A and B are shown apart, each in its own frame.
Chain A
Amino acid sequence: MSNEGRAPRMRSSVSRMAAASGMEWLKSVKGVILDMCGVLYDSGEGGGQAIPGSIEAVKRLMDSGLTVRFCTNETQSTREQFVQKLRVMGFDISVSHVFSPAPALVRILRERRLRPHLLVHDGLMAEFEGVDTSSPNCVVIGDAAEKFSYQNLNEAFRVLIGQEKPLLFSLGRGRYYKETDGLKLDVGVFMTALEYAGDVQAEVVGKPAADFFGTVLKDMSLQPHEVVMIGDDLVNDVGGAQSCGMKGIQVRTGKYRPSDEQHASVRADAYMDDLAAAAHAILTSSPTTER
């Protein structure tokens, strides 16, 4: 309640500070990694809707000569279906520029010859085609949403506790995300529940894991300090990117809450009203791009 009341004053003062000083780093930006849900669009009924100005902002960034990649912890559908959904909304994005946790995890499962018990959304199952799930020796959880029932969590727990060394993989570790009808619990909550129940520490695949960002940076052929991550999740997008040596901008869309700007441990390099504002700030600063 009191937070809401303070928000407008705090917001404008931070913007002024950001504009006045400390933004020199924008000039050395050569690449941009964009979070998707909450930055490009708000999810919800019928797939969701584009955030005003974001379609044009993505186009301007890509046309500018900056290297642009997309990094999502989306695990309710396959990467192909997900990109298709965004194309329908009007975003011109190709699958090869989108990085999501499931394909990365499938590589890990193959390398380590693991057979997962899958607690993931039905829409994601196709990513695991050909993966051996018989007599499972590890548990994989993604954003299973309605499938997070007591029964299904209990099944996953029993697989974990039945292992000599329980192994839990989590596709991201988000706390919550925003849909058009309100905030929803994300996979990190159920990861934490299973960690507590089985006394294990999950291996996180996806943001904010350094390996995941590392794969994206490699694909961009850029150094971390040349890249800025733009996201609505302060801890996973901004904090995760900063831990890898990148800059992080939090946009005030999606799951953003005013209290994020007073977070105890993570401070964004800049807070911007939305992707359009962030793109404008980058494009008017960076020497490699349009002026």
Chain B
Amino acid sequence: MSLRSLKAVLVDLSGTLHVEDAAVPGAQEALTRLRQSPVAVKFVTNTTKECKRTLFERLRRLNFDLQEREIFTSLTAARNLLEQSAVRPLLLVEDSAREDFTGIETSDPNAVVIGLAPDHFNYQTLNKAFRLVLDGAPLIAIHKARYYKRKDGLALGPGPFVAGLEYATDTRATVVGKPEKAFFLEALRDLDCSPEEAVMIGDDARDDVAGAQNAGMLGILVKTGKYRAGDEGKIDPPPHLTCDSFPDAVNHILDHLLGSKQSEN
């Protein structure tokens, strides 16, 4: 095992630190141990409807030690892109996500941001988005998931609507969430850290691990959350490590990825 000068650890939230309303056993204590080592920690997630504050409050309720500013989501990535390109978006996101776009000018839109917004995904609003993109407005997708699991069964994710608008306008959306390379690079931007100096821990082989490794980072797959047996074999190259859960991933990092041993565990 080569020793890297590890500077940052990116951690997925749902499925990695917690599953629904329960923390992964030992995860809080493992996070605290990770924080005692000389690495920066960031929490990265694909969400189209939950603002950072909501995510932060959930994690605090579960007794995780973190700051709201350490959370980087696909909504943050979209916001950063909007600011960098100085465009005024038509925001197709749920009201619960709008908080993360506070201060962004949305009048007379010249860009389209598409998240998951069942209330907005009607023919009239999609037509409006379509006409803007056909007139040259950039199409920015929070992420492109096909579907997700809801209490009452499977439900369409944002991906199908993005794919439909791409087809209508013969353009490609800029996807800002995981597993895009740009997402991981943007998450590291304020940490003064190259991808080679970072590791990503997550339960999604494709979005977390393959995405991070494609960006030049190491990826650790945990067998919690949405993990299904054999997932580690579905990506090439395979994960740097596949382990039972977040505490094991932290142990591996402390024991093997830091220049000197930080922990006796």
Contacts and interface: CB of A to CB of B under 8 A. Distances in A.
B156 A153 contact: yes
Contacts of B153: 158
Interface string B168-188: 111000000000000000000
B167 A189 contact: yes
A192 B164 CA distance: 5
Interface residues of B, number: 30
Given A175-B168, A185-B127, A149 B122 contact: yes
A150 B167 contact: no
Interface string A129-172: 00000000000000001111111011001100100000000000
B154 A193 contact: no
Nearest to B136: A1
Contact of B164 (A145, A149, A189): A189
A182 interface: yes
B130 A148 contact: no
B83 to A, nearest CB: 24
Contacts of A190: 164
Interface stretch (A68-76, A194-202, A244-252): A194-202
A45 to B, nearest CB: 15
A209 to B, nearest CB: 17
Given A154-B155, A176-B130, A197 B167 contact: no
Q: Which of B154, B159, B160, B170 has the most CB of A within 10 A?
A: B160
A129 to B, nearest CB: 26
A38 interface: no
A1 B165 CA distance: 20
B168 A176 contact: yes
B155 A183 contact: no
A157 B147 CA distance: 10
A196 B123 contact: no
A193 B131 contact: no
Contact of B122 (A150, A176, A186, A197): A150
Contacts of A59: none
Contact of B123 (A158, A182, A185): A185
A182 B124 CA distance: 12
Interface string B144-160: 00110000011111011
Contact of B127 (A1, A154, A184, A199): A184
Contacts of B146: 196-199
A188 interface: yes
B122 A192 contact: no
A24 B168 CA distance: 35
Nearest to A192: B167
B159 A157 contact: no
Contacts of B39: none
Given A154-B155, A197-B156, 12 more contacts: A150-B122, A157-B155, A175-B169, A176-B130, A183-B131, A183-B134, A184-B127, A185-B168, A189-B165, A193-B164, A196-B146, A196-B164
Lowest 7 CB-CB distances: which A-B pairs, in order? A193-B160, A193-B164, A196-B163, A192-B167, A197-B160, A150-B121, A150-B118
Interface of B: 118-119, 121-124, 126-127, 130-131, 134, 136, 146-147, 153-157, 159-161, 163-170
29 contacts: A147-B123, A148-B123, A149-B121, A149-B123, A150-B119, A150-B121, A151-B118, A153-B121, A154-B156, A161-B154, A176-B130, A184-B127, A185-B126, A186-B168, A188-B167, A189-B126, A189-B164, A190-B164, A192-B160, A192-B164, A192-B166, A193-B161, A195-B163, A196-B146, A196-B159, A196-B160, A197-B156, A197-B160, A198-B146
